[in-house]
Amino acid sequence: MKHLKTFLLLALIVVANSVSAQSTFETWPAIKEFHEVMSQTFHPAEEGNLAPIKARSEEMMNKAAMLLKSNIPKEFRTDAILASAERLQLKSKALHKLVKFNGTDAAIVKSITELHDTFHQIVGLCSDVKK
């Protein structure tokens, strides 16, 4: 019974975070566009397939720049979110340079993982603002 309660609590947390991220994407289209490229490149990289990120690193960099320049919803224009969006842009530029100048696979995986973490930090901060 105790395990069932723990499972149900964890499931509720996951659903709540998913709904919050979904509303963030609806409110801020540029973050949704970035997420599309991130999800299509990061998950293959996790499995050792770097072809998608090598082919789309410039697109990722451009989406990060567009995200920062986009019409960020007022509730998300906090110092923490803006600072994280700037880090996202800088990290995406660094990733693109690694790809462009033939960085090692290990360096590319490390870079995209850091970029992924920064993206999730932004989504988490947006979720905190919505609460």
Kindly report, residue by residue over 18-53, the tens digit of the pLDDT.
444 557 788 899 999 999 999 999 999 999 999 999
Output the pLDDT for position 131: 65
DSSP 3-state assignment of 7?
A: helix
Q: What pLDDT is attached to residue 11?
A: 43
Model pTM?
0.80
Instruction: Say what the pLDDT of residue 91 is.
Output: 98
Query: How many domains is the chain built from?
Result: 1
pLDDT tens digits, residue range 86-130? 999 999 999 999 999 999 999 999 999 999 999 999 999 998 876
pLDDT band at 15 (very low <50, low <70, confident <90, very high): very low
Q: Which residues contact 35 (CB under 8 A, 6 or more apart)?
A: 25, 119
Range of the domain at 76: 2-130
Asked whether the CA dihedral 74, 37, 53, 66 is positive or negative, the reply is negative
pLDDT value of residue 70: 93
Mean pLDDT of 51-79: 95
Tell me the average pLDDT across 67-88: 94
Tell me the C-alpha distance between 117 and 123, whole Å.
Answer: 10
CATH number, domain containing residue 19: 1.20.120
